[in-house]
Amino acid sequence: MIEIEDVVKRYGETTAVDGVSFSAASGQVTGFLGPNGAGKTTTLRVLLGLARPDRGRAVIDGAAYADLPAPRRTVGAVIDDMGFHPARTGRNHLRVVARAAGLPSRQVDEVLDFVDLPDAADRRVGGYSQGMQQRLALATALLGDPAVLVLDEPANGLDPAGVVWLRNLLRSWAAEGRTVLFSSHVLSEVETVADHLVIINAGHLAADESAADLRSSGRPLEEVFLSLTTAAHR
Amino acid sequence: MTDLIAAEILKLRTTRTVWALLAATVGVTMLAVTGAVLAADSGNATLDLESDRGVRTVLHVSASGGIFVLVLGIIIAAGEYRQRTAVGTFLTTPRRSRVIAAKLVVGAGVGTVFGALAALAAFGAANHNYRAKGYTFPVDSSDVWTILGGAVLYAALFGAIGAATGSLVRNQVGAIVGWLAWLAVAENILFQISPSIGRWLPVAAGRALVRDPDGDLLSQPVAAVVLAAYAAAIMAVAMISERRRDA
């Protein structure tokens, strides 16, 4: 269960997120949508303790990220500005995370198999394609077998087979009663997999409703999205 | 904390930077010691190489490789921002002061290892070059061992100072350039203006630690405490400023 409560985040004169509140329930896939610059990544960075909100708070199962006793076992995250050392192999990157998080090293091999990266695991990340880096990022998120997934544009760089694989992963994760919150630009992708949709625009919450309700309205998601996210500019 | 320290060591072992800097540290140390012997033995030199002053003149340069340890310390911390790995590190350990402390410990630890290998190289180079020039290297002189011990401590403390600086500044190139400017120019000028204040500054304290015979420097133990205090102070400022900063 993720709760975002009245979060405000300013960068100088710019207010990137302006009083956003929503929650992502466990057992559901929550899609997080918005145009570029709407404040999606900033909201997720606040949730993950990477950025300090000017107001409000974001909690995961009732606790701020920084107060989680074992963050990697509780939350698996993929975030936009997370990089890899180009000279380190994929396997060694995961070994470092496992070591720092106190996770058993066998989980490194397990996630490498799971994201279908074992052949590339002992090559330097500098030689990875964008899709392989994205798989490694997902492997890092899954390393601690977390109950909550927070994924910023997880489909970026994945090939069609990867996108299908990711979709099944998110579904099965939620089916096990875990929480999934993911952001995306790709409306069709979100529509296919999400149980609940949160749309933000220019730092404000524009929609927060179940995918079923949205479908029953009969309007395609694209139309709803465009009407919500362009209205503010008129 | 043990896990964090082990992870920081694993980070170092899984890239090549650390080996390049180790080679540089040992290589520069050997060159510096060899150069010091040759300079002291040149035609117009009046220094007795076998005297206490001779040993100090030759061996105090065994800290010359310490600059690479300082750079390594900076890379341990600021390198996370250069390679954009800091976000992942803070996702694993959101209490950033723990990360900063672990990096300082690893900077000091790796510095100790580098310093020990450099001291060994300095001893070998001095011994070899004394013999080559027809002198006896006074291995039973306590000066030899206090200086080489000081060189190990020098590397450990500058490794810690580097790691603390990297955490504070975050910009790897900026931190390295800043320290180089301080070491090469700024502190020298301050020392010329006021030696009584200047001897408390990091470079002069480092020179005291390896018992540089020139100048009115601090005693070895005081110099060690002063350098440790610099490391601790920079670390404290880094921890406090990290509370307000975004990753």
Looking at CA atoms only, how far is residue B102 from chain A in angstroms? Answer: 11
Question: Three-class SS of residue A168?
Answer: helix
Q: Give dist(CA B163, CA B103) in Å, integer.
A: 6
- Sheet order of strands, A75-78 included: A75-78, A148-152, A179-184, A29-33, A196-201, A204-210
Q: Around Cβ A173, how many Cβ atoms within 10 Å?
A: 20
- Whether residue A125 contacts residue A85, with contact meaning beta carbons closer than 8 Å, is answered with yes
ipTM over 0.95: no
Helix (H) or strand (E) holding A33: strand A29-33
CB B74 within 8 A of CB B166: yes
| A59 in B contact zone (CB under 8 Å) | no
Chain B positions touching A50 (Cβ under 8 A) are 87, 90-91, 246-247
What is the distance between the alpha carbons of residues B152 and B121, in angstroms, rounded to a whole number?
12
Tokens of A173: 């994760």
DSSP per position, B38-98: HHHTSTT----TTSHHHHHHHHGGGGTTHHHHHHHHHHHHHHHHHTT-HHHHHHH---HHH
Contact B246 A51 (CB under 8 A): yes
For the purposes of burial, counting CB atoms within 10 Å of the CB of A212, is it exposed (0-12), middle (13-18) or buried (19 or more)?
exposed
Structure tokens at A8: 């405000």
Rounded to whole angstroms, how far apart are CA atoms B242 and B24?
32
At residue B93, the pLDDT reads 96
The pLDDT value recorded for residue A157 is 86
Q: Cβ distance B126 to B37 under 8 Å?
A: yes
pLDDT value at residue B39: 87
Q: Mean pLDDT for each consecutive 10-residue tract of chain B (247 residues)?
A: 95 93 95 91 77 90 93 97 94 96 97 96 94 89 93 97 97 95 90 89 94 90 97 97 89
First to last CA, chain B: 21
Cα separation, A175 vs A27, in Å, equals: 6
Give residue B44's pLDDT: 66
User: Which stretches of chain A drop beneath a pLDDT of 50?
Assistant: 234
User: Taking the model in full, what pTM does it have?
Assistant: 0.91
Q: What is the pLDDT of residue B11?
A: 95
A95 contacts B87? CB cut-off 8 A? no
Neighboring chain A residues of B19 at a CB cutoff of 8 Å? none
Nearest-Cα residue of chain A relative to residue B3: A100
Q: B12 CA to chain A: closest CA distance, Å?
A: 10
So what's the pLDDT on residue A234?
A: 43
Sign of CA dihedral B143, B144, B146, B148: positive
Axis crossing angle, helix B17-40 with helix B2-13, rounded to the nearest 10: 80
Residue B92 and residue A92: Cβ atoms within 8 Å? Answer: no
Distances (CA, A) of B149 to A39, B118, B143, B221: 55, 11, 10, 11
Q: Which residue of B has its CA nearest to A143?
A: B92
Output the CA–CA distances (angstroms, integers) from residue B39 to B29, B47, B95, B129, B148, in the order listed: 15, 10, 51, 11, 20
Residues 180-209 of A with CB under 8 A from B: none
Q: 3-class SS at A107?
A: helix
Say how far residue A199 (Cα) sits from the centre of its chain.
14
Pairwise CB contact (< 8 Å): A50 & B6: no
- Residue B98 at interface with chain A, using a CB cutoff of 8 Å: no
β partners of residue A210:
A196
Q: Is the Cβ of B97 closer than 8 Å to some Cβ of chain A?
A: no
The predicted pLDDT at position A231 comes to 61
Greatest alpha-carbon span in chain A? 55
Query: B181-196 burial string, b = 16+ CB within 10 Å, else e?
Result: eebeeebeebbeeeee
Cβ contact A186:A163 at 8 Å: no
A9 touches chain B (CB under 8 A): no
Annotated domain spans of chain B: 2-242
DSSP B106-120: HHHHHHHHHHHHHHH
- B5 phi/psi in degrees, rounded to 5: -65, -45
